[in-house]
Amino acid sequence: MTLRTTIRPATVDDMAQVQAIYAHHVRNGTGTFEIEVPDVAEMQRRLAEVQGRNLPFLVTEAHGKIAGYAYANLYRTREAYRFTCEDSVYIDPAFHQQGLGHALLDKLIYLAAANGFKQMIAVIGGSGNAGSIRLHEKHGFVQVGLLPKVGFKFDRWLDSVLMQRSL
Ligand SMILES: CC(C)(COP(=O)(O)OP(=O)(O)OC[C@H]1O[C@@H](n2cnc3c(N)ncnc32)[C@H](O)[C@@H]1OP(=O)(O)O)[C@@H](O)C(=O)NCCC(=O)NCCS
């Protein structure tokens, strides 16, 4: 049976569920280089920052709960980077590999372009992050760099894979 999902802009009230999804990935994955789990208030601060920069923050719902989220934020804050954004996509592990990442990234790219952004960068944690690398390849990102051993998490050194597409 096909999973019925909807995508909509995130609200401040969504951040408790968003924080729970992110907490799983901080604790168990290398997709993020954060090690301490940010609290709900911090996720609300991040939402406000993204929205204040005219960038999209989206959630996808399935079976009446938030199953994943994606947002774009500035790649760097120095002013000449103002047309370049960086995407982030996180899916609840119960909903992995059911097309939610595809659907969120598709809409995120559309909205960031519509808001005037010209380049999107993916900073992917770990060379072995096959899901994220595949997801971005399918949306036209190409690898533009690899920073070897710049992260240290779970007692091992981690690469950062840089992928980019124009909008
Ligand atoms: C990466 C992530 C967002 C993918 O989300 P998803 O909803 O499971 O992905 P989708 O079902 O839309 O699949 C996207 C593509 O990646 C592939 N894929 C997904 N997970 C995969 C995995 N673990 N290994 C290999 N390929 C994978 C899918 O097969 C699909 O490719 P296809 O269209 O050629 O079949 C999800 O695994 C996740 O939340 N990972 C942890 C956090 C992370 O690393 N986020 C990226 C930070 S930028």
Q: Give the tens place of pLDDT for each residue, 31-84.
A: 999 999 999 999 999 999 999 999 999 999 999 999 999 999 999 999 999 999
pLDDT score of 2 more than 80: no
Query: Mean pLDDT across the stretch 13-19?
Result: 98
Ligand 1, residues 27, 33, 86, 91: which to mutate, most atoms within 8 A of Cβ? Answer: 91
Q: Ligand 1 centroid vs 130 CA: distance in angstroms?
A: 7
Give first-to-last CA distance, the chain, whole Å. 33
b/e burial code for range 18-48 (CB count within 10 A of at least 16 → b): bbebbbebbeebbbbeeeeeeeeeebbebbe
Q: What is the largest CA-CA distance in the chain?
A: 47
pLDDT score of 134 more than 70: yes
**In the structure encoding, which two tokens stand for residue 41, read together?**
């208030």
Instruction: Report yes or no: 90 and 68 within 8 Å, Cβ to Cβ.
Output: yes
pLDDT score of 152 more than 90: yes
Higher pLDDT, 114 or 3: 114
Answering whether pTM is above 0.85, one says yes
Percent of the chain with pLDDT over 90: 97
pLDDT score of 3 more than 90: no
Distance, CA of 134 to chain centre: 14
**Phi first, then psi: what are they for 141, rounded to 5°?**
-80, 145
pLDDT of residue 17: 98
pLDDT of residue 18: 98
Q: Ligand 1 centroid vs 101 CA: distance in angstroms?
A: 6
Share the mean pLDDT of the chain: 97
Q: Ligand 1 centroid vs 152 CA: distance in angstroms?
A: 22
Q: Ligand 1 centroid vs 127 CA: distance in angstroms?
A: 14
pLDDT of residue 1: 60
Q: Give the start-end residues of each E strand in the chain.
A: 5-9, 57-62, 65-74, 84-91, 119-125, 142-153, 156-166
**In the structure encoding, which two tokens stand for residue 117, read together?**
């952004």
